[in-house]
Amino acid sequence: MAHLLVLYGTSEGQTRKIARFIADTLRDQAHTVDLMAASEFEDWPSPDAYDAVIVGASVHSGQHQAAVQTVVADHRSVLNRRPSAFFSVSLAVLDEDHHEEAERYVSNFLDETGWAPDEVTTVAGALRYTKYSVIKCFIMKQISKSSGRPTDTSRDFEFTDWDQVARFVDRFLQHVESPDTERTPSPQSTSTP
């Protein structure tokens, strides 16, 4: 079976939770998986040491985590040679009117890093009111109110569609388990819930 890397960037923890779910799903299918935060990547081997790589990052203020962007840009030649996938975590995917916005964040990330992963998806994240600063909590409550999302700041709300994440992993594994097929990256393979 394959030796895989699941690399992520997270702010309040939802992307880490999704990355762990992905790693566990891959392990359940007998793959060896290293799970790591992009901020700790310098202590790990190059992506060249892996058969395939999945990268995840969340969107905050219109940008993915800088640490993820740096690792991907620095290692894009390896990532473009290996089976690879990207998942972007954003609340924008919850609203029909904002799907294009979520896809634009992904497109910008891929353009800026020069990476062309085999699979790309946008995943709904979570409202982590209990982890936000007072100011961020106020701002997120206002955004949530205008979007019709929950505004009870005494608790957190998770919107991740775990079945969607599992389907993303299944699509990715088709690239990993079919090494004889020619690699044809498709950044337009973005899927939403």
Cβ proximity of 159 and 94 under 8 Å = yes
3-class state of residue 157 by DSSP = strand
Instruction: Please report the pLDDT score of residue 187 as a whole number.
Output: 45
Per-residue pLDDT of the chain in tens (193 residues, 90 and over written 9): 899 999 999 988 999 999 999 999 999 999 999 999 998 877 677 788 899 999 999 998 788 999 999 999 999 999 999 999 999 999 888 877 777 888 999 999 999 999 999 999 999 999 889 988 899 888 889 888 888 888 898 999 999 999 999 999 999 999 998 765 445 444 444 444 4
Q: How many CB atoms lie within 10 A of CB 148?
A: 9
The CATH number corresponding to 3-125+160-176 among 2.60.40.10, 3.40.50.360, 3.40.50.2000, 3.30.365.10 equals: 3.40.50.360
Global pTM exceeds 0.75? yes
Instruction: Please report the pLDDT score of residue 183 as a whole number.
Output: 52
Instruction: Please report the pLDDT score of residue 191 as a whole number.
Output: 46
Q: How many CB atoms lie within 10 A of CB 70?
A: 16
In the chain, domain spans: 3-125+160-176, 128-159
Cβ proximity of 6 and 68 under 8 Å = no
Concatenating the DSSP letter of every residue in 162-179 gives HHHHHHHHHHHHHHHS-T
**Separation of alpha carbons 13 and 56, rounded Å:** 12
